[in-house]
């Protein structure tokens, strides 16, 4: 199974868990979102009448239905085995007050005969200690352990039937558990429980808990902890968890979306709510670090992990957090995480663990540093808190000093700096997006000085003098002029009529739109920008309506990216092209994952996410777009009084959830169709009402 294609994501402030669309536990992270990952696999099965084995997540006779409890991070997977007519409802949630994964199984016999049921679990741990992992049987389950951690998988009340430590993979496939501890050490172990005979239409329940100790307790103390956990009322924990998340959604409904009235609005709302529920699962509450996505490839077979914090990704996410009334989370990122991760020279490296430690990388990206400065002022625009700017002024100035040196090196061609990777981390060079990001950082720095005004030299024992500030302002302003001049003279192809992604690569790139949004170096209506957008549509738009990142993108077949479509949406909104904006936006709506989670890429054939589901950057761009659409009145207006939408650019007529007509008011009247009938009917009713009055 492809571990990147998780469909379900749950967790609390410390634990993050992902699942397949069939309910298989894929990954569990604790105590941070990125470290450590504990399970290589966690397989479950049911043995019927001591003969036939049903693999819960792969059996050919199984039918699956998966859904969240409404407005929560509680995941349900219904597994119906059509051969035995046995239904298993698997409910997974992480308790809010305790760091415990609860897996509740309800067995329902829909057959007309008795079924004797046994439940099996086979798990293998991840460890960087080779095979120095083993297990220990306890009354209600198993403790698997290495030197620096222990994982307990146990039931609340059901005694263990059988167990096998070491080399159980070869036996459990047939439903056999050895019933002994083999000599040696192994990452895999198996356990089983006797559910008993389930009569027709009868239900039985099994609650499995997973708890982790990070080398803080002796085994005896950990066993005591397990016994304490077993006494918890998990029905109450379930209700408390449900209540917590539903309240969380209400608290963070920053855009005040109302109840949807049609399927189009429902899809927007579903992604919106899932975004609200996803973001806290990506964040380290203590440091403010935010991972890109809940995905890890331990063997580096694909891309080498997404569960790191890229400052650039995090900045886009913080903009969305502000929109969703998560401003304290935004400030944790800047006030804590960015301060502990900034290098002495003022820059931020490519990526980090959420605890602030440097993560493996393959170079540096200048836009990471520029984005942080931009993000700090962007947050200030939401909160208008001078103290926030003051507390981060020194950090911003260090970053700006680094960026000034980089720009001067580019312009003067001194060769003192190694060329940066682009934002896609694919190519080294001097990139247009990198330069406009720096321009945006410079602009943000000027705005920070302006916002602080005289106060800027009045704190920290008058550390900053006006002359120093004025010198910095003059340098920044001059460099902005030089950046624009450099781009115009070196990074526009007159023959192809487009801006270039970098000096040595003339491919069209969606990130060229960064010059319009978010960094506003150019107006969306400038001729060169319009030419570039025309080329983007010609060369990057696929037959499905999705946009690629850049020409000849071979990464996973060059599939469209939701980010690219949302970027195009933002451009069209900036340019006042509402119809085109909606077309680009609608592609994202129709390609969202099963639970309205957005991926990194979309398969052009299936129109489903084919890579990294639950990408924070995609969800952030969705929220940013949604806010802008609402602010400029582009959101769909649902109306039963047709007089309220006569001046709309595009009117969609729905009947039984299907689009039957589309166009502006005059176009639809000329068709003499459904809209004409409704409008004529309402017009006559209103005339009669007026006459009575």
Per the listing, tokens 């109450």 go with 236
C-alpha to C-alpha distance for 322 and 627, rounded to whole angstroms: 11
Find the Cα–Cα–Cα–Cα dihedral 329, 616, 541, 667, rounded to 10°: -60
Q: Which residues contact 576 (CB under 8 A, 6 or more apart)?
A: none
User: Structure tokens of 76?
Assistant: 């349900």
Beta strand extents in 470-589 (DSSP E only): 492-493, 498-499
166 vs 465: which has the higher pLDDT: 166
Helices (H) and strands (E) in the chain, counts: 17, 24
pLDDT digits (tens, 9 = 90+) for 296-310: 655 555 555 788 999
Read off the DSSP letter of residue 453: G
pLDDT digits (tens, 9 = 90+) for 167-199: 676 667 777 777 666 555 677 888 999 999 999
Listed residue (285, 448, 458, 459) closest to 379, CA to CA: 448
Cα–Cα distance list, 150 to 222, 226, 330, 369 (Å): 9, 12, 33, 38
C-alpha to C-alpha distance for 38 and 187, rounded to whole angstroms: 11
Which pLDDT band, with edges at 50, 70 and 90, does 645 fall under?
low
Tally the C-alpha atoms within 13 A of residue 461's C-alpha that lie toward its C-beta. Answer: 0
C-alpha to C-alpha distance for 594 and 635, rounded to whole angstroms: 23
User: Structure tokens of 640?
Assistant: 């039963």
C-alpha to C-alpha distance for 516 and 631, rounded to whole angstroms: 18
Is the backbone peptide bond immediately before 71 cis, with ω within 30 degrees of 0? no
Q: Does residue 599 surpass a pLDDT of 70?
A: yes
CB contact at 8 A, 600 and 611: yes
Which pLDDT band, with edges at 50, 70 and 90, does 579 fall under?
very high
Q: Does residue 488 surpass a pLDDT of 90?
A: yes
- Burial, 296: exposed, middle or buried (Cβ in 10 Å; 0-12, 13-18, 19+)? buried
Tell me if residue 234 falls in helix, strand or coil.
Answer: helix
- The neighbour count for residue 434, using CB atoms within 10 Å, is 28
Q: Does residue 638 surpass a pLDDT of 60?
A: no
Element (H, E) at 274: helix 263-282
Radius of gyration for the alpha carbons in the chain, expressed in angstroms and rounded: 28
pLDDT digits (tens, 9 = 90+) for 143-173: 988 888 889 999 999 999 988 887 676 667 7
Least confident of 327-331, 647-651, 655-659, 677-681: 647-651
pLDDT digits (tens, 9 = 90+) for 411-451: 888 767 668 899 998 888 899 999 999 999 999 999 999 99
C-alpha to C-alpha distance for 532 and 551, rounded to whole angstroms: 13
Q: Which residues contact 274 (CB under 8 A, 6 or more apart)?
A: 595, 596, 597, 619
The gap between the terminal CA atoms of the chain, to the nearest Å, is 69
User: Structure tokens of 249?
Assistant: 């959604």
Q: Does residue 225 surpass a pLDDT of 50?
A: yes
Find the Cα–Cα–Cα–Cα dihedral 242, 18, 341, 442, rounded to 10°: -80
Least confident of 70-79, 110-119, 211-220, 567-576: 211-220
Looking at every residue in the chain, the average pLDDT score rounds to 88
Tell me if residue 148 falls in helix, strand or coil.
Answer: coil
pLDDT digits (tens, 9 = 90+) for 230-257: 999 999 999 999 999 999 999 999 998 8
CB contact at 8 A, 189 and 142: yes
Q: Which residues contact 691 (CB under 8 A, 6 or more apart)?
A: none
C-alpha to C-alpha distance for 561 and 546, rounded to whole angstroms: 7
Find the Cα–Cα–Cα–Cα dihedral 457, 460, 464, 465, rounded to 10°: 60
CB contact at 8 A, 163 and 111: no
Longest dimension (CA), the chain: 94
Q: Which residues pair with 609 in a beta bridge?
A: 602
User: Structure tokens of 160?
Assistant: 């263990």
Tell me if residue 385 falls in helix, strand or coil.
Answer: coil
Cα–Cα distance list, 74 to 18, 151, 234, 360, 457 (Å): 12, 22, 13, 33, 51
pLDDT digits (tens, 9 = 90+) for 618-633: 999 999 999 999 877 5
User: Structure tokens of 164?
Assistant: 């096998």
User: Structure tokens of 220?
Assistant: 């005896």
DSSP 574-620: HTT-HHHHHHHHHHHHHT--TTS--EEEE-TTT-SEEEEES-HHHHH
Q: Does residue 292 surpass a pLDDT of 70?
A: yes
pLDDT the model gives residue 384? 92
pLDDT digits (tens, 9 = 90+) for 513-556: 999 999 999 999 999 999 999 999 999 999 999 999 999 998 88
Q: Does residue 220 surpass a pLDDT of 60?
A: yes
CB contact at 8 A, 67 and 8: no
pLDDT digits (tens, 9 = 90+) for 127-148: 665 557 778 889 999 998 888 8
Q: Which residues pair with 48 in a beta bridge?
A: 52, 117
CB contact at 8 A, 154 and 209: yes
Buried b (16+ CB within 10 A) or exposed e, 552-563: ebebeebbbbbb
């Amino acid at each position: 199974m492809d571990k990147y294609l998780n469909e379900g994501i749950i967790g609390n402030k410390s634990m993050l868990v992902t699942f397949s669309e069939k309910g298989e536990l894929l990954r569990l992270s604790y105590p941070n979102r990125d470290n450590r990952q504990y399970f290589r696999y966690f397989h479950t099965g049911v043995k019927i009448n001591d003969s036939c084995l049903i693999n819960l997540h792969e059996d050919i006779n199984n039918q699956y239905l998966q859904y969240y409890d409404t407005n929560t991070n509680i995941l349900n997977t219904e597994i119906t085995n059509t051969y035995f007519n046995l239904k298993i409802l698997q409910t997974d949630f992480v308790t809010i007050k305790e760091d415990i994964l609860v897996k509740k199984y309800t067995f329902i016999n829909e057959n007309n005969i008795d079924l004797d049921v046994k439940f099996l679990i086979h798990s293998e741990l991840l460890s960087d200690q080779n095979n120095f992992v083993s297990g220990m049987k306890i009354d209600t389950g198993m403790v698997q352990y290495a030197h620096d951690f222990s994982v307990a998988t146990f039931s609340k009340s059901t005694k263990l039937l059988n167990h096998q430590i070491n080399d159980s993979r070869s036996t459990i496939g047939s439903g056999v558990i050895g019933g002994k501890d083999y000599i040696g050490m192994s990452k895999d172990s198996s356990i089983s429980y006797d559910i008993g005979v389930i009569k027709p239409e009868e239900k039985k329940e099994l609650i499995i808990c997973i708890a982790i100790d990070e080398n803080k307790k002796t085994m005896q103390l950990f066993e005591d902890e397990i016994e304490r956990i077993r006494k918890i009322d998990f029905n109450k924990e379930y209700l408390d968890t449900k209540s917590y998340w539903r309240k969380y959604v209400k608290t963070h409904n920053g855009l005040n979306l109302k109840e949807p009235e049609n399927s189009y609005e429902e899809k927007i709302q579903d992604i919106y709510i899932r975004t609200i529920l996803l973001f806290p699962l990506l964040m380290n509450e203590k440091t403010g670090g935010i991972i890109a996505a809940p995905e890890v490839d331990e063997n580096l077979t694909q891309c080498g992990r997404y569960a790191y914090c890229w400052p650039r990704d995090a900045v886009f996410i913080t903009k969305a957090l502000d929109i969703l009334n998560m401003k304290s989370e935004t400030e944790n990122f800047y006030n804590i995480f960015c301060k502990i991760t900034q290098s002495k020279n003022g820059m931020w490296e490519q990526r980090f663990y959420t605890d602030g430690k440097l993560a493996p990388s393959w170079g540096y990206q200048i836009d990471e540093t520029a984005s942080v400065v931009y993000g700090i002022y962007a947050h200030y625009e939401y909160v208008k808190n001078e103290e926030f700017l003051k507390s981060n002024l020194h950090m911003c100035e260090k970053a700006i000093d680094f960026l000034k040196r980089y720009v001067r090196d580019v312009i003067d061609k001194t060769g003192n700096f190694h060329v940066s990777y682009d934002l896609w981390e694919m190519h080294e060079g001097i990139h247009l997006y990198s330069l406009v990001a720096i321009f945006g950082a410079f602009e943000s720095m000027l705005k920070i000085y302006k916002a602080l005004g005289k106060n800027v030299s009045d704190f920290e024992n008058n550390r900053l003098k006006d002359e120093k500030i004025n010198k910095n302002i003059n340098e920044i302003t001059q460099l902005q002029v030089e950046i624009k001049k450099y781009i115009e003279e070196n990074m526009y192809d007159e023959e192809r009529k487009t801006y270039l992604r970098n000096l040595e690569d003339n491919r069209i790139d969606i990130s060229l739109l960064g010059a319009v949004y978010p960094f506003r170096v150019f107006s969306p209506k400038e001729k060169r920008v319009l030419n570039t957008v025309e080329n983007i549509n010609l060369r990057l738009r696929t037959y499905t309506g999705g946009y690629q990142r850049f020409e000849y993108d071979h990464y996973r077949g060059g599939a469209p990216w939701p980010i690219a479509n949302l970027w195009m949406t933002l451009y069209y909104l900036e340019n006042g092209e509402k119809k085109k904006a909606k077309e680009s936006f609608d592609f994202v709506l129709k390609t969202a994952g099963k639970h309205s989670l957005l991926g990194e890429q979309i398969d052009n054939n299936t129109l489903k996410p084919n890579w990294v589901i639950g990408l924070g950057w995609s969800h952030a761009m969705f929220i940013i777009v949604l806010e802008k659409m609402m602010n400029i009145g582009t959101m769909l207006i649902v109306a039963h009084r047709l007089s309220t939408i006569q001046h709309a650019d595009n009117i969609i007529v729905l009947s039984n959830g299907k689009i039957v007509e589309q166009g502006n008011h005059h176009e639809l009247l000329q068709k003499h169709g459904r809209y004409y009938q409704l409008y004529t009917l309402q017009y006559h009713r209103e005339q009669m009402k007026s006459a009575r009055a």
